[in-house]
Amino acid sequence: MDAPSLHSRFLDDVLPRIRQDVRVARVAIAVGAPDVYSDVDLIVVIDDEAFDSVMQERLTLIGSWTALVAGFTGEHVGEPRLIVTLVGPPLLHVDFKFVRTSDFAERGEDPDILWDRDGGLADTLAEGPPAPPSLDLQWIEDRFWIWMHYGATKLGRGELFEVIGFLTYLREAVLGPLAARRVGAIPRGVRHLESIAPDEARDLRATLCGYDWHDAGQALLASIGLYRRWLDDAEAVIEHHHHAEELAVQYLQEVIAQTS
């Protein structure tokens, strides 16, 4: 891993301390192309029989490994095994993910091995390929036109903060993942879109708006246009809800026309 100097210093300092805990079997790190603004994604692999006890004292353990500034658990991203932290100073965002040895083979991507107590991690990774998260296009289509009607009602009521938040959600849950899928990348909201999918990121600018009613309406229409085009380009076999689409788009257009 070719890490920036702050990240390298952190790893050089923390890894020997983690290794001192006999319950830790392995330590790995998520791969990527880090820069000075990147976080560190550590995977701490725990012996199965010790996992429950380690989970009860994770923040204390992390505080003994490094200068912990603040930390919290990762339920907000659906990962309760995760501790999101700031360490330092200098401040560095570090995610510590605690995993049972028996669960390590279930992964979205292959990490870099930093330390392996018994040398078995490579064999574990060889048991099967990673299973990156997939994008369920039918799940999205089942919801998209209901969501668009919701956005139109907020626009009609003049709740522009709600519309702005709704557009952000659409980019995170629908348009960003579709954009990543178009370039063969793992769908992760809008993360790194400017670098991995620059053309799509440029298109997404049309879905941005300030606190302006007209611009909000145009951003909603732009979101529909991108969704239609990118879903068609995906050539996926799904059940399209054309009737819901027609009615939702008509409703949005009526709202825009009534308040123009």
pLDDT tens figures, 138-177: 999 999 999 999 999 999 999 999 999 999 999 999 999 9
For CATH 1.20.120, list the domain ranges present in the chain.
137-258
Contact indicator for 114, 15 with CB cutoff of 8 Å: yes
For CATH 3.30.460.10, list the domain ranges present in the chain.
5-126
Q: Domain 5-126 carries which CATH code?
A: 3.30.460.10
**Amino acid identity, position 258:** Q
Could you say which architecture CATH assigns to the domain 137-258? Up-down Bundle (1.20)
For the segment 211-222, the average pLDDT, to the nearest whole number, is 97
Strand ranges of the sheet holding 79-87, from the earlier edge strand across to the other edge = 68-74, 79-87, 92-100, 40-46, 24-29, 112-116
The 10s digit of each residue's pLDDT in 19-49 is 999 999 999 998 777 788 889 999 999 999 9
**How many angstroms separate the CA atoms of 22 and 115, rounded?**
13
Contact indicator for 141, 241 with CB cutoff of 8 Å: yes
